[in-house]
């Protein structure tokens, strides 16, 4: 620790400073989470090193396990330690036993958003332009006579372009990578559903919604409101990390009325996302769209509940009125 940092610690927390001056070095052993075999042992580890520093040291011994692939834990079944956690702050003695788990190959966010979000955009257009192999040669490159089909294409494209833009310019993710396993699963989900929805909406036999223009206009207004709401929440979440730290904080409503849903739910971005897909279902009146919405809703409810309970556990002063995803209900 440099002198200036040490003086800072000494001023803020004299006890900790006294302790760190007494404990000069740690011993760290890393065991395999599954087999409990010792993978490596480091002596003379400086107590102020972070988990990320330990990961870098471990990486030197095992070049195939780069830091983003490593999950380092205090308990084989416990949570992964955060990169920024400091060795001397962990509940361990001077001989720390840590457990390693391989998270599998990882890929960077650029690749994630290109494959996950650009995929559905591209797939949808194949059906919109009626490529010869989908609806037969006679209908190849023809265009639908229903205006709702064109509007649906605009809304679908808008949704995924917005997501791409948010991933590049708005989100401040806490992890730099995503497991390759997850991206393969997600691509099946997004690409597969995009193809299924697009096949029916752009089908030459597609029939427009029962209540015509009224239904389409109402759905479009709802869709735009929900997309704006979803974007506003993403901006609000991103602003929580303006200081560059990657920790989680309690999100609160801001001056933007779209964020006022934070008064009632923990994950309003999911609420708005579900709203967008309900609107798209009403607009197209298409069963596969309804199914995609339902599956998305179930998945987001599971995630929202997990996030909600994590907030309650992490923050004692967490607002009690909030539900997970649907105000006053769920
Ligand atoms: N249609 C579907 O089936 C479907 C399913 C899921 C998601 N989506 C869409 O994709 C969007 C993103 O999904 P997501 O699951 O990544 O949403 P999320 O978990 O709410 O995260 C969105 C961003 O906000 C950050 N964040 C979340 N809570 C935070 C907090 N308390 N403090 C600071 N930063 C925080 C996240 O960082 P971290 O890296 O720390 O998480 C991430 O960068 C959703 O809002 C939704 O529009 C669609």
pLDDT tens for 275-326 read 999 999 999 999 999 999 999 999 999 999 999 999 999 999 999 999 999 9
Atom 43 of ligand 1, residue of closest alpha carbon: 173
As to burial, measured by CB atoms within 10 angstroms (0-12 exposed, 13-18 middle, 19+ buried), residue 198 is buried
C-alpha 258 – ligand 1 centre gap (Å): 16
The sign one gets for the Cα dihedral 236, 222, 196, 201 is: negative
166 in Cβ contact with 227 (< 8 Å): no
Check pocket membership of 273 for ligand 1, CB cut-off 6 A: yes
Verify whether ligand 1 is closer than 6 Å to residue 174 (CB atom).
yes
| CA 66–ligand 1 middle distance (angstroms) | 25
Mean pLDDT of 161-167: 93
Q: Flag whether pLDDT at 10 surpasses 50.
A: no
The candidate with the shortest Cα–Cα distance to 261, out of 304, 308, 325, 305, is 325
- Answer whether 48 contacts ligand 1 (Cβ < 6 A): no
The phi, psi pair for 28, rounded to 5°, reads -125, 125
Ligand 1, atom nearest to 250 Cα: 31
Confidence at residue 109, expressed as pLDDT on a 0 to 100 scale:
77
3-state secondary structure of 49: coil
Q: Identify which of 101-110, 162-171, 251-260 has the greatest average pLDDT.
A: 251-260
Please check the confidence at residue 188 and state whether its pLDDT lies above 50.
Answer: yes
Between the CA atoms of 113, 119, 122 and 126, what dihedral angle is there, to the nearest 10 degrees?
-170
The pLDDT assigned to 22 comes to: 53
Residue 299 CB less than 6 A away from ligand 1 = yes
Percent above pLDDT 90 for the chain: 76
Tell me the domain boundaries of the chain. 24-104, 107-314
Q: Is the CB of 164 under 6 A from ligand 1?
A: no
Is the pLDDT score of 135 beyond 70?
yes
For 26-146, where are the alpha helices, taking DSSP H only? 51-61, 109-128, 132-135
Range 95-119 average pLDDT: 88
Instruction: Tell me the C-alpha distance between 325 and 299, whole Å.
Output: 11
* Cβ atoms within 10 Å of 69's Cβ, excluding its own: 20
Alpha-helical (H) ranges within the chain are: 3-12, 14-22, 51-61, 109-128, 132-135, 147-165, 180-201, 212-239, 268-284, 287-314
Minimum-distance ligand 1 atom for the alpha carbon of 251: 31
Cβ atoms 176, 68 nearer than 8 A: yes
pLDDT bin (cut points 50, 70, 90) of residue 94 is confident
Structure tokens at 286: 């298409």
Average pLDDT, the chain: 91
Helix (H, G, I), strand (E, B), or coil: what is residue 287? helix
CATH architecture label of 24-104: Roll (3.10)
How far is the centre of ligand 1, averaged over its atoms, from the C-alpha of 238 (Å)? Answer: 10
Spatial separation of the C-alpha atoms in residues 240 and 253, rounded to whole Å = 12
Q: Which residue, judged by its Cα, is nearest atom 42 of ligand 1?
A: 173
Burial environment of residue 281 by CB neighbours within 10 A (0 to 12, 13 to 18, 19 or more): buried
Residue 26 has pLDDT above 80, yes or no: yes
**pTM above the 0.85 mark?**
no
Cα–Cα distance for residue pair 301/289, rounded to 1 Å: 18
Q: Which atom of ligand 1 is nearest to the CA of 311?
A: 31
Asked if residue 268 has its Cβ within 6 Å of ligand 1, the reply is: no
Cβ of 171 less than 6 Å from ligand 1: yes
- Integer angstrom CA distances of residue 145 from 47, 204, 208, 282: 70, 9, 10, 19
Q: Are strands 70-73 and 95-102 parallel, antiparallel or unpaired?
A: antiparallel
pLDDT > 50? residue 156: yes
Q: Is the pLDDT at 14 greater than 70, yes or no?
A: no
Higher pLDDT, 49 or 176: 49
Residue-level pLDDT at 198: 98
The yes-or-no verdict on residue 147 having pLDDT over 90 is: yes
| pLDDT value of residue 178 | 83
């Amino acid at each position: 620790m440099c002198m200036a940092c040490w003086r800072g610690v000494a001023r803020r927390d004299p006890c900790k400073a006294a302790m760190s001056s007494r404990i000069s070095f740690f011993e760290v052993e890393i065991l395999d989470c599954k087999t409990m075999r010792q993978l490596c042992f480091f002596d003379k580890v400086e107590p102020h090193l972070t988990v990320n520093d330990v990961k870098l040291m471990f990486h030197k011994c095992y070049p195939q396990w780069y830091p983003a692939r490593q999950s380092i834990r205090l308990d084989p079944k416990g949570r992964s330690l955060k990169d920024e956690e400091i060795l001397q702050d962990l509940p361990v003695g001077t001989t720390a036993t840590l457990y390693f788990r391989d998270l599998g190959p990882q890929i960077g966010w650029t690749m994630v958003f290109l494959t996950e979000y650009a995929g559905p955009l591209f797939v949808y257009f194949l059906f919109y332009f009626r490529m010869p192999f989908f609806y037969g040669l006679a209908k190849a490159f023809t265009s639908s006579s229903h205006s709702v089909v064109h509007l649906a294409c605009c809304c679908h494209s808008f949704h995924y372009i917005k997501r791409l833009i948010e991933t590049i310019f708005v989100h401040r993710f806490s992890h730099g990578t995503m497991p390759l396993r997850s991206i393969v699963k997600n691509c099946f989900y997004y690409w597969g559903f995009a193809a299924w929805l697009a096949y029916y909406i752009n089908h030459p036999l597609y029939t427009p919604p029962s209540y015509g223009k009224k239904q389409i206009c109402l759905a479009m207004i709802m869709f735009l409101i929900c997309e704006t709401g979803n974007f506003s929440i993403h901006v609000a979440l991103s602003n929580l990390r303006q200081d560059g730290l990657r920790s989680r904080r309690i999100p609160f409503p801001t001056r933007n009325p779209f964020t006022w849903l934070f008064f009632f739910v923990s994950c309003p971005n999911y609420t708005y996302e579900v709203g967008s897909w309900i609107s798209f279902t009403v607009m197209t009146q298409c069963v596969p769209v309804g199914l995609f919405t339902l599956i998305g809703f179930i998945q987001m409810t599971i995630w929202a509940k997990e996030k909600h309970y994590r907030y309650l556990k992490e923050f004692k002063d967490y607002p009690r009125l909030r539900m997970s995803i649907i105000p006053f209900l769920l």
